Structure 1
Amino acid sequence: MSTPSGFFIPDLWAHCPYPAIYHPNGDAVVSESDEWILSRCTGISPSLRRELPHLMSGQLAAFCYNSCSDERLRLVCDFMITLFLMDDLSDEFKTKETEVLMDIVMNAMEEPNFYRPGITNGEKHPEVEPDASKLSRDYWARMRAGAGPEVQRRIISGVKEYLIAVRQQADDRRTGNIPELEKYIEHRRMSSGCRPLFHIIEYSLDFQLPEEVVNHPLMVRMMDCVNDWVAFSNDIFSFKVEYSRGDKHNMVAVMMERYKLNIQSSFDRVAALCIEAMKNYRECKAEFPSFGPEVDAQIEAYCYVMQSWMSGSLAWSFVTPRYLGPRRHEIRKTLWVDLTNQRLRSANGA
């Protein structure tokens, strides 16, 4: 297949009715979080350590959780950058190493008071505590002190689900597997990391929603819609980077490979799914029942953060150099992404 010259990023802003608002003290809080992770990540590869300051995940947190206190935002920033680090570490690992990483992180969350080496598939965990464990024990010990028991349970479950998806993604990357669209959507909702990041909304706002609210079919549907918008739009913005390294865990790649669409038609199809997700979210929210004044106010605050995720993730994609590089501000104006000098690698790095 010939290399495409480039593509236009669909203008999703035209379909997002929610403003992108940055936390008033975001930069100061993000700076503290960046210092935190750099001071604790002593064992990761030099290349990954150099990338951490340019990740700017804290700025994403400041866009999405713009209504919480500085103290709670700090924990959200620490949590978010740790999830990003897990994803980047999995890019460097083989499937077996990713399984070890998953168990180490889950052990740290289940017992944050001390490091306890375990065994994964017959392989002993390192005697010296890995950075992933240190980070997880640190943020979780602080977060659980301010989170209700059901919120804690949901966060732990969400992190585990995310790590399982990361493991599957690493395996797909190794084998070159490209799933069917429906399977990809199901997996992407887990690998996006949105589910645990939505579960910490309650922590960030210092309340615990009743179980009948969290498990209400319309709330579950709304969370899936926001997840789809965030994950699918991220696949649009990250395509250039993933294309260059042959990583096909991307909905645009699924459209091109499975449905034989050209590159621009693939982007337009993914954008259409984002627009549909936005429409479905708004319809579900309009139909959501009342649970009384106090809980309704909490639901509205919760939905505000999810809406901030939809607008904030768009804004952040042009702030971080992670996906669009040094020309991201120019691309924001023109929406054109040039691939003429892009070198395509296969999924196994060839």
Structure 2
Amino acid sequence: MSNKFGFVIPDLWVQCPWPAIFHPNGAAIEAESDRWILSHCPNNQASLLRILPSLRSGALAAFCYNNCSDERFRLVCDFIAVLFLLDDITDELDTMDNDLFRDIITNALIDPTSYRPGMTNGKEHPAEEPDASRVVRDLWTRICAVTGLPVQQRIMKGLQEYFGAVRLQAERRSSGEIPSWEVYIEHRRLSSACRPLFALAEAGLGIELPEEVVEHPLMAKMRNYTNDWVAISNDIFSFRFEYARNDDHNLIAVMMKKYNLDIQSAVDRVADICGDALSKYLEAKAQFPSYGPEVDAQIQSFLHILQSWMSGNLAWSFVTPRYLGEKRLEIKEHRWVDLSEETLKEIRVEA
């Protein structure tokens, strides 16, 4: 093993104190969600039929939102499927096309009743509605029907921050800029899409946390530290996939290129940052004040989802072959990630 090129995944399971719990009806609702997105994407059915069975976005939802009712969980499942669709589309776009795509999706959120082509930077939107707009309008209509305006606004704000981060990512990809690790983490909090996904927890639970709870500095810290743990640990699992595509939007790549660390040292440093984020989350949670029995119960349900994101994303990384491929269960056992040229060629073919 020492003669091969790759790295050992640090023991993140030791860091994470919460069990990975799967939603009781997660598998059945995941299948319903897959059928829904296929039915609303006639122009992308071939690629979706290839991607969906291996992506298992519904399984990620089932691990992370395991305390939601079936009806609400379906909304969550659809939302995560749509986010993966948007993420895969924007990964292939340059800055200008990202702006156009962002405006199309924003218009779908502002007015989900119908598609109205507009213009971005002097470029007209397609006359025929893109599949992504169609699924967003359908989903957002259903979310708005069961949530209040404050929750809708929190989800919308998170999505706008995500689109802004995707644009910056495209700019950095074009310029070859490698940020410091601190700047990268600030950006990763937005590009991970965790912010709208955490706001979605309220919709999934059927609650609306008081503004003073949502805006409390300790609650903001808990969201950020959860975001850091999820996004940065995901960088460890996804590095194999991104390395094969020469994609530097990964903290391991930042550590290697900006700070001249070898690959294992970079991975270990990233794992240390994960551990620090989790410790800070626990500190903030221990200091969080009480708001009375009813609100406290809602807060605990919300924090359960944040904690399930940490354990759930860890578990999902070995359910989906998206990042670790067909040998993911072997990798889970021995934790060795092979980055030999032969393996990289296989990844490029799969992608």
TM-score bracket relative to the smaller structure: over 0.9
Match of 2:31 in 1: 31
Shift of 1:4: 6.9
Match of 1:88 in 2: 88
Q: How does 1:238-277 map to 2 (within 5 A)?
A: 238-277=238-277
- Please list every run of 5 or more consecutive structure 2 residues that lacks an aligned counterpart in the other structure: 346-351
* Equivalent-residue separation in structure 1 for 2:302 and 2:4 (angstroms): 41
Match of 1:64 in 2: 64
CA contact (8 A) 2:63 2:312 kept: yes
Instruction: Deviation per CA, 1:233-254: give whole Å up to 9, x if none.
Output: 0000000000000000000000
Shift of 1:53: 2.8
Match of 1:226 in 2: 226
AA of the residue aligned to 2:338? D
SS in 2 for 1:145: helix
Structure 1 runs (4+) greater than 3 angstroms displaced:
44-49, 342-345
Q: Using the TM superposition, name which of 40-49 and 275-284 deviates more.
A: 40-49
Q: How does 1:201-220 map to 2 (within 5 A)?
A: 201-220=201-220
Instruction: Deviation per CA, 1:135-190: give whole Å up to 9, x if none.
Output: 11010000011111100110111111111111221222222221111211111000
* Equivalent-residue separation in structure 1 for 2:123 and 2:336 (angstroms): 47
Number of equivalent positions: 343
Match of 2:41 in 1: 41
In the alignment, structure 1 residue 101 sits paired with structure 2 residue 92: no
Q: How does 1:163-174 map to 2 (within 5 A)?
A: 163-174=163-174
CA contact (8 A) 1:108 1:133 kept: yes
* Equivalent-residue separation in structure 1 for 2:182 and 2:152 (angstroms): 30
Q: How does 1:92-171 map to 2 (within 5 A)?
A: 92-171=92-171
In structure 2, relative to structure 1, the CA distance for the partners of 1:335 and 1:38 (3 Å cut) is: same
CA contact (8 A) 1:103 1:120 kept: yes
Match of 1:191 in 2: 191
Shift of 1:52: 2.9
TM-score by length of 1: 0.95
SS in 2 for 1:51: helix
CA contact (8 A) 1:69 1:204 kept: yes
* Equivalent-residue separation in structure 2 for 1:47 and 1:204 (angstroms): 28
Match of 1:79 in 2: 79
AA of the residue aligned to 1:55? L
Shift of 1:343: 7.2
Match of 2:320 in 1: 320
CA contact (8 A) 2:38 2:48 kept: no
SS in 2 for 1:73: helix
Instruction: Deviation per CA, 1:68-87: give whole Å up to 9, x if none.
Output: 01111111011111111111
* Equivalent-residue separation in structure 2 for 1:120 and 1:206 (angstroms): 36
* Equivalent-residue separation in structure 2 for 1:115 and 1:45 (angstroms): 20
- After superposition, the CA RMSD in angstroms is 1.5
* Equivalent-residue separation in structure 2 for 1:319 and 1:344 (angstroms): 20
* Equivalent-residue separation in structure 1 for 2:52 and 2:216 (angstroms): 38
Percent of aligned positions that are identical: 59
Match of 1:348 in 2: none
Instruction: Deviation per CA, 1:264-300: give whole Å up to 9, x if none.
Output: 0000000000000110000100000011111111111
TM-score by length of 2: 0.95
Shift of 1:46: 4.5
CA contact (8 A) 1:4 1:263 kept: no
SS in 2 for 1:43: helix
Match of 2:349 in 1: none
* Equivalent-residue separation in structure 2 for 1:121 and 1:343 (angstroms): 42
In structure 2, relative to structure 1, the CA distance for the partners of 1:344 and 1:176 (3 Å cut) is: farther
In structure 2, relative to structure 1, the CA distance for the partners of 1:178 and 1:46 (3 Å cut) is: farther
